[in-house]
Structure 1
Amino acid sequence: MKFSLGPILYYWEKAKVEAFYRDAAESEADVVYLGETVCSKRRELKLSDYMKLAHNLREAGKEVVLSTMTLLESPADLRELRRYCENGEFHLEANDVGAIELLRAQGLGFVAGSAINCYNAQTLQRLLSLGMRRWLVPVELSRDWLSQILSVPEIQALRHTFEVEVLGFGHLPLAWSARCFTARSYNKPKDDCGLCCIHHPEGRPVHNLEGLRVFTLNGVQTLSGSRNNLVNDLPGMTGLVDVVRLSPEPESTFEWLRKFYAADRWGRRQALAPGDINGYWHKVEGIRLLDEPLGEL
Structure 2
Amino acid sequence: MKLSVGPILYLWERSTVLSFYESLCDAPVDIVYLGEVVCSKRRFMRKEDWLAVTEMLRSAGKEVVISTLALIEAESELASLARIAQNTDVLVEANDYACIECLDGRPFVAGPHLNVYNEATLRLIARHGARRWVAPVELPLAIVAALAELRPPKLEVEMFSYGRLPLAFSARCFTARAQRRAKDDCQFVCAAHPDGSTVYSRDGQPFLALNGIQTQSAATQNLLPHVRKLRNAGVDVLRLSPQSRDFAAVVNAFRAALDGNDDVTLPASFLPGGYCDGYLDGAAGLEIVENEQRMPHPAPVRPAAPAASLSRAR
Structure 1 residue 267, shift from structure 2 partner: 2.4
Normalised by the length of structure 2, the TM-score is 0.89
Please identify, of 203-212 and 175-184, the stretch whose mean Cα deviation from structure 2 is larger: 203-212
Alignment partner, residue 174 of structure 1:
167
Distance across 2 between alignment mates of 1:73 and 1:47: 21
The sequence identity of aligned pairs, in percent, is 41
Q: What RMSD in Å do the two structures reach over aligned CA positions?
A: 1.3
- Could you tell me whether the CA contact under 8 Å between 1:178 and 1:220 is conserved in 2? yes
Tell me how far apart the structure 1 counterparts of residues 127 and 157 of structure 2 sit (CA, whole Å). 16
Partner of 2:139: 141
User: C-alpha distance in 2, partners of 1:257/1:282?
Assistant: 23
Matches within 5 A, 1:102-181: 102-103=102-103, 105=104, 107-152=105-150, 155=151, 158=152, 160-181=153-174
Aligned pair in 2 of structure 1 residues 215, 131: CA closer, same or farther (>3 Å)? same
**Is 1:253 matched with 2:247?**
yes
1:42, 1:277 → 2: CA distance? 29
Which of these residues, 249, 265, 269, is aligned with residue 271 of structure 1? Answer: 265
8 Å CA contact retained: 1:169, 1:245? yes
Q: Which residue of 2 aligns with 1:283?
A: 282
Q: Please give the alpha-carbon distance, in whole angstroms, between the structure 1 residues aligned to 2:182 and 2:70.
A: 21
Distance 1:141 1:46 in 2: 35
Q: Deviations over 1:219-251 (max 9, x none)?
A: 000000100000110000124100000000011
Report the 3-state secondary structure (helix = DSSP H, G, I; strand = E; otherwise coil) of the residue aligned with 1:266.
coil
Distance 1:68 1:293 in 2: 36
Which stretches of structure 1, 4 residues or more, deviate above 3 A after TM superposition?
A: none
Q: Residues 24, 34 of structure 1: CA spacing in aligned structure 2 closer, same or farther, 3 A cutoff?
A: same
Of 179, 182, 188, the match for 2:181: 188
* Structure 1 residue 269: Cα displacement: 2.6
Mapped partners of 2:41, 2:260: distance in 1: 43
Unaligned runs of 5+ in 1: none
Q: Return the letter of the residue paired with 1:81.
A: L
- For the pair 1:81 / 2:74, whether they are aligned, the reply is no
Q: Offset at 1:263?
A: 1.0
Q: Is residue 111–residue 134 contact of structure 2 (8 Å, CA) maintained in 1? A: yes
* Distance (whole Å) between structure 1 residues aligned to residue 162 and residue 20 of structure 2: 17
Normalised by the length of structure 1, the TM-score is 0.94
Residues in 1 aligned to 2:241 and 2:87: alpha-carbon distance in whole angstroms: 24
Q: Take 2:211 and 2:182, find their aligned partners in 1: how far apart are those partners?
A: 15
Cα distance in structure 2, aligned partners of 1:148 and 1:100: 24
CA distance in 2, matches of 1:279, 1:198: 30
Aligned to 1:97: 97
2:49 is paired with a residue of what secondary structure?
A: helix
TM-superposed CA distance for 1:268, in Å, is 2.8
Distance, in Å, in 2 between the alignment partners of 1:36 and 1:149 is: 28
Does the Cα contact within 8 Å between 1:233 and 1:293 map onto a contact in 2?
no
